[in-house]
Structure 1
Amino acid sequence: MKKYRAPDLTQEHIATALDTLDTWRGKLTWDLLLDSLEAAWGYRYSRFTLASYPEVANAFAHRKDALKGTLPVSRGTPTDERVRAAIEQAERFKAKAERLEAENSLLLEQFVTWALNAESKGVTMDMLNKPLPKPDRDRSKVVK
């Protein structure tokens, strides 16, 4: 029996994985995440495939840390469906904002590293901020 390979991950798959992590409740492991994503996509990827995407790996680590710090909620769940939906949406947005802030902080660190390395090689900020050249769009003109 031939084993079929899952299709390559797309940006939509990555976005789905990030949304799943943002809304995750309870114990979080790679196997549980992969089970959830397999139910959504219809095929299973390995932990190493997902972890090879930095945004997924960072979101997983950030969500796992956030879940470790959460305490069980002692108050009752609201009975009104709209209130419950609004609370869940607010929690999703909060989790997404925290993940994006962590990702932004990593990108800022990377930018500082690049700036210092460029400066040590004699590249000035003016050289880095120089605008890109305009594309030559007249190349395809027909010569008469």
Structure 2
Amino acid sequence: MPKQSKSRARNLGDEDLEAISRLLDGWDGKLSWELLIEAIETRLKARYTRQALSQHARIKLAFQLTKERLTGQPRSKQQGSAGLGATEAQALLERYQRLEGENARLKAENERLLEQFVVWAYNASNRGLDARFLSQPLPRVDRDQTKLRPSRPSKL
């Protein structure tokens, strides 16, 4: 029987990375790469391997932070509080946990970007570029229609 080749999933773009990070931010329960792959397949309609996902620093970091958050989380969830129904309290708890996960991920991403900025600043100073030169505004973009010059009459 001939082996069927599977079509390759599309490359992950910024929107896909954001969707996967948000998925991990709101993750509740057991987390494994296989469970994440299945959830991504359901949401993005594309199947990726663990290796493909972990090559993206943003996904790898979000996965690690979610794993840490889940292992530090108490097993039994508190139901109901301050006059809220059980479902309302559960929804609020889930939203809180998702926001906590997102906050931790964004802090880690911000730290990584700050480290990248320090590297760029060091390399720029090695090249003799000062902060004033690097802080120059970008050139203004002229979005008006290009003005055509009148054509010169040709001499025959």
Offset at 1:84? Answer: 1.6
Q: How many residue pairs align between the two structures?
A: 143
- Structure 1 runs of 4+ aligned residues shifted over 4 Å read 136-139
Mapped to 1, the partners of 2:96 and 2:27 lie a distance apart of 14
Report what 1:97 is aligned to. Answer: 103
Deviation, structure 1 residue 138: 5.8
Which structure is larger by alpha-carbon Rg, 1 or 2?
Answer: 2
SS, match of residue 88 in structure 1: helix
Q: Who is 2:64 aligned against?
A: 61
CA distance in 1, matches of 2:141, 2:120: 26
Other-structure match for 2:29: 26
TM-score by length of 1: 0.84
Secondary structure, in 3 states, of the residue corresponding to 1:8?
Answer: coil
CA gap of 1:96–1:37, structure 2 versus 1, over 3 A, is same
Q: Which runs of 5+ in 1 are unaligned?
A: none
Report the 3-state secondary structure (helix = DSSP H, G, I; strand = E; otherwise coil) of the residue aligned with 2:27: coil
For the aligned residue pairs, the C-alpha RMSD in angstroms reads: 2.1
The Cα of 1:135 is off from its aligned counterpart by: 2.7
Deviation at 1:58, TM superposition (A): 1.4
Amino acid at match of 2:98: R
Percent sequence identity is: 36
* Matched letter for residue 39 of structure 2: S
Q: Which runs of 5+ in 2 are unaligned?
A: 151-156
| Greater Cα shift, 95-104 or 6-15 | 6-15
Structure 2 length as normaliser, TM-score?
Answer: 0.79
> Which structure has the highest helix share of the two?
1
Aligned counterpart for 1:77 among listed residues 76, 79, 91: 79
Whichever residue aligns with residue 126 of structure 1, its letter is R
CA distance in 1, matches of 2:144, 2:29: 59
